[in-house]
């Protein structure tokens, strides 16, 4: 018996654990993006538009990654 892959763990259990990890990471990324946005708006709200465009791009990138974590999965 392999201690790292017990025989009683079914494929469904592995899939459920994988989905839970992905959803947790997705939630963490979205929470981080929200904190970055709030911090940037509060601290750098009057900065140049070029700087803000970079923040927006970064937040969009994070959202795309978060969305891809559960895309096509049930």
Q: Which parts of 1-74 are beta strand (E)? A: none
Residue in the block written with tokens 């970055």: 36
pTM of the model: 0.70
Eight-class DSSP state of 47: S
Nearest CA to 68 out of 29, 16, 14 is that of: 29
Angstrom distances, CA of residue 25 to CA of 6, 32, 38, 63, 70: 25, 10, 20, 12, 10
Residues in the chain with pLDDT values less than 70? 1-5, 44-49, 72-74
Q: How far apart are CA 51 and CA 57, in angstroms?
A: 10
Residue in the block written with tokens 């946005």: 37
Q: What's the pLDDT at 28?
A: 95
Q: What's the pLDDT at 44?
A: 66
């Amino acid at each position: 018996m392999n201690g790292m892959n017990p025989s009683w763990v079914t494929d469904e259990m592995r899939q459920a654990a994988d989905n839970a990890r992905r959803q947790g990471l997705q939630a963490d990324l979205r929470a981080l993006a929200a904190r970055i946005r709030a911090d940037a708006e509060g601290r750098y709200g009057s900065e140049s538009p070029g700087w803000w465009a970079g923040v927006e791009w970064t937040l969009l990138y994070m959202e795309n990654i978060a969305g891809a974590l559960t895309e096509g999965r049930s």
